[in-house]
Amino acid sequence: MTTTTALPTPARVGSGGWRTGFTGTTALLRLALRRDRVLATCWILVFVAMAAGSAAASQGVYPTQQARVRAASAINDTPAMVALYGRVFDPTSLGAVSLIKLGAFGAALVALVAIFSVVRHTRGEEEAGRLELVGAAVVGRYSALTAALLLAIGTSIVLALLTALSLVGAGLPADGALAFGLSWAGAGVAFAAIGALAAQVTESARTANGIGAAVLAVAYLLRATGDVTGVDDSTWPSWLSPIGWAQQVRPFAGDRWWVLVNLLVFAALVAAAAYALVARRDHGAGLVAARPGRAAAQPRLRSPLALAARLHRGALVGWLVGMALGGLLFGSIASQVGALADTPEAREMIRRLGGERGLTDAFLATELGILGVVVAAYGISAALRMRGEETAGRLEPVLATGVGRLRWAASHVIVALGGAALLLVTVGLGAGFAHGAATENFGEIGRVLAAALVQLPAVWVLTGITVLLVGAAPRLAVLSWAALVLFLLLGQLGSLMRLPGWMIDLSPFGHTPKLPGAELELTPLVSLTLIAAILLTVGLSAFRRRDIG
Amino acid sequence: MTTAISVSGLVKTFGPTRALDGLDLTVRSGEVHGFLGPNGSGKSTTIRVLLGLLRADAGEVRLLGGDPWTDATELHRRLAYVPGAVSLWPNLSGGEVIDLLGRLRGGLNPKRRTELLERFDLDPTKKGRAYSKGNRQKVALVAALASDVELLILDEPTSGLDPLMEAVFKDCVREEHERGRTVLLSSHILAEVESLCERVSIIRLGRTVETGTLTELRHLTRTSISAELAGVPDRLGEHPGVHDLHVEGHRVRFDVETAELDPVLRELTRVGVRGLVSQPPTLEELFLRHYEEASR
């Protein structure tokens, strides 16, 4: 790969360039606010409602200090929970116990929204060519980036204040509520800066989002590693992660305000790097100069499936690497989780779960369940590519050749379903191999692989929902993400909020057998696969009958 | 002579908007047919119905003897399409796109591909996101022209091309015509239509308002006349074929419908003609008249 870096001297930023570089920021910020007014309002309200709902529900579930301590130790003594959510830093605090599932996890979701928002208003606009239209007006070199960052910072602050207010409304102390809100906002601001930097590196908004999400995943895994490997406190890997910092603010458990400074300094440094790159690169270009392609297509590029495979290749490779790393990490810590629990209560729980092996299995089952949800996100994004191709006008010329609609759509569906399967195999092999290496028992690989693969039917249901929307209600296709978030929240918070059973049962992930450890039930797997097949069939037949464009 | 495309009474609605409202279009096999109309008049919608991308709400549509909706894939092997706004895959090179589209259609003439790349001066190694608008257009043109098909459907194919490339495009279409291919050319460029098309259809607000050969259409246009007369032309204004009449003493200026030329000239000679200048009708006027009516 010839990676000639496109770093010419900042020719057009002459004397006074720094100040004029910001001209028009206000106008762009207003434009961004206008474009995002519905979207931003919606996601802020969802987060605020999540926090307030959890806090309000917990008062009923954990009315006494004793109940809270029991709930906290159930989390702190279960490594799978600690890896996923972090530690309850003060078992007696209602706020700390009730919001444990939303601390680091919520911060990561806020961070994801911040990344997407900044990339959408910078690289996304640039790639679509709209920024050029705007850039030709009186708009400075840094204006788009500044407007995007201000938008992200502004929404983060609004989110923090509204969340704090709603928590106070739910009966929690004000200082803890503010610390909690600001820990979310801090994560949002830090990853807005990451998004800004990622947007400078590549020419494609999709890749920039991918880089941002990958950094977030690494940050989350670092924090999980640090939290699991510590006995009473988190160890150093947590302190390498912005998500770890957000958690170390410890809302309702000491309110360590100074940790917020870490997040702000980090955000400032990363944003400064983004500004430095903006000043040096050409409009529309990334850091890596585009290489020329082939003058003629390879012989195998001759079918819709070959085209789909080519279009999905880059994203799938990125996902495979990420999932392999995630699998290896969880697999390697799985066998140690039993040794970490040395309180009598934890010993008791381990015994109930069937010894250390049972604890390890429970850990693997929880982590593989979460990775299953992540793989479902791949399935959705791959299936949504169909709608992307359609709206970009790239479907029309293909359908104007001898390719039928069904064949074209089936190609993308095959890549989405097959890619998800490949990802789960990778997760299973990675986790199984690492676990086998740690326990010096490679017979474990088969069990772990099977435990990863049982996630597949639920993942396929989400792909099916996406295909159904693309086929029958293309304008609403992005709602498939809402379905994923809904299922995730039903699983995470459904029982806490005491939702009716039928509602919690809506989530396909709830029906997946908790392997390894639990019994392998075939009925839910077969039913989920059938549901996915029905959704796909209905979606594809609707796609055959509707107008294109 | 057989017909390649026949459309009658075509209706297509999008919610409350009636995009096509009883459109008729007949393209004979082997002809280059111009398809004209102001922005938003329904040209692209018609083409997308012809390609089976949109389903007609009412009306009869036949394409190469088949139904464009039910026989889409079989028909598409016999035609090539160039969209008005070409969008390429950002990470595929132009050469790859040309080959891919050709193969998906069922084959591509490699000799013609090489020749067209040279004539259009197109670098096939650039990636989709690196091409300018004109070059993206060229990629689609080469992909369409390099395949051996019966029918070419071109939707404003020269938008973004420089004049030199426009000339190359015209030559190519003429060659396709000589090979006996049918071309449906939607366009805004009158010179292009005049030099390439034998017959044209003009649509507006989703209906066909004129169709015929260029000679026939010229008959529908108006001739501008200014004359110096011997007396006062008092009865000229009553004549139904006369428009925009200006009278200053013995001088007159007016437009006259070409079909009404003879009786109007008789009227002038009755009064007595001292001097006369007439300007022949241009297609431009015809279009402007229809376009202006559309915007009213």
Strand order in the sheet with B58-63: B17-28, B3-14, B58-63
| Interface contact flag, A400 B88, Cβ < 8 Å | no
Which of the four pLDDT bands, split at 50, 70 and 90, describes residue B192? confident
Res A16: pLDDT: 47
3-class DSSP string for A394-417: CHHHHHCCCCCHHHHHHHHHHHHH
Tokens of A174: 């004000």
Torsion angles phi and psi, residue B200, rounded to 5: -135, 155
H/E element, B36 = strand B32-36
Task: List Cβ neighbours of A484 (8 Å cut-off, separation of 6 or more).
Answer: A373, A376, A377, A380, A462
Mean pLDDT (whole number) for B223-235: 86
Pairwise CA distance, residues B19 & B206, whole Å: 6
Res A14: pLDDT: 43
H/E element, B140 = helix B133-145
Pairwise CA distance, residues A62 & A65, whole Å: 7
Strand order in the sheet with B251-257: B242-248, B251-257, B222-229, B273-279
Res A22: pLDDT: 86
Which B residues 150-209 touch A at CB under 8 Å? 153
Tell me the domain boundaries of chain B. 3-217, 222-280
Nearest to B83 among A290, A314, A393 (CB): A393
Chosen from B47, B57, B103 to mutate, greatest number of chain A CBs within 10 A = B103
Inform me whether the pLDDT recorded for A10 exceeds 70. Answer: no
Rounded to 5 degrees, what angle do the CA atoms B225, B226, B231 make? 120
Contacts of B130 in chain A (CB under 8 A): 290
Res B278: pLDDT: 85
User: How many angstroms separate the CA of residue B186 from the nearest CA in chain A?
Assistant: 16
Per residue in A138-182, pLDDT (tens digit) is 778 888 999 999 999 999 999 999 999 999 998 899 999 999 999
| Interface contact flag, B104 A396, Cβ < 8 Å | no
Contact A149, A197 (CB under 8 A): no
Res A347: pLDDT: 63
Per residue in A472-519, pLDDT (tens digit) is 999 999 899 889 988 988 888 887 788 888 988 999 999 999 888 888
Which B residues 124-153 touch A at CB under 8 Å? 124-127, 129-130, 140, 143, 153
Q: Is A30 exposed, middle or buried (0-12, 13-18, 19+ CB in 10 A)?
A: exposed
Mean pLDDT (whole number) for B219-227: 80
Contacts of A404 in chain B (CB under 8 A): 72-73
Which of the four pLDDT bands, split at 50, 70 and 90, describes residue B85? confident
Cβ atoms < 10 Å from Cβ of B59: 17
| Interface contact flag, A402 B86, Cβ < 8 Å | no
Pick among 3.30.1360.10, 1.10.1660.10, 3.30.70.260, 1.20.140.10: CATH of B222-280: 3.30.70.260
Pairwise CA distance, residues B100 & A404, whole Å: 15
Pairwise CA distance, residues A332 & A438, whole Å: 6
Task: List Cβ neighbours of B38 (8 Å cut-off, separation of 6 or more).
Answer: B204, B290, B291, B294, B295
Tokens of A368: 């593989």
Contacts of B74 in chain A (CB under 8 A): 402
User: In chain A, pLDDT over 70 holds for what percent of residues?
Assistant: 92
Contact A382, A409 (CB under 8 A): no
Q: In A334-368, which positions are buried (b, 16+ CB within 10 angstroms) versus exposed (e)?
A: bbbbbebbeeeebeebbeebeebebbbbbbbbbbb
Res A350: pLDDT: 61
DSSP codes of every residue in A437-467: HHHT-TTHHHHHHHHHHTTHHHHHHHHHHHH
Q: Among candidates A305, A514, A538, A524, which has minimal Cα distance to A418?
A: A305
| Interface contact flag, A294 B55, Cβ < 8 Å | no
| Interface contact flag, B93 A293, Cβ < 8 Å | yes
Tell me the domain boundaries of chain A. 27-289, 301-549
Contacts of B104 in chain A (CB under 8 A): 302-304, 398, 401-403
Which residue(s) pair with B10 in the sheet? B23
The CATH architecture assigned to B3-217 reads: 3-Layer(aba) Sandwich (3.40)
User: How many angstroms separate the CA of residue B12 from the nearest CA in chain A?
Assistant: 11
Per residue in A208-251, pLDDT (tens digit) is 998 999 999 999 989 988 988 877 777 888 899 999 999 999 99
Reduced to 3 states, what is the DSSP secondary structure of residue B262?
A: helix
Pairwise CA distance, residues A345 & A248, whole Å: 25
| Interface contact flag, B104 A402, Cβ < 8 Å | yes
Contacts of A548 in chain B (CB under 8 A): 48, 53-54
Res A339: pLDDT: 58
Chosen from A300, A399, A475, A545 to mutate, greatest number of chain B CBs within 10 A = A399
| Interface contact flag, B99 A307, Cβ < 8 Å | no
Reduced to 3 states, what is the DSSP secondary structure of residue A518?
A: coil
| Interface contact flag, A401 B53, Cβ < 8 Å | no
B104 touches chain A (CB under 8 A): yes
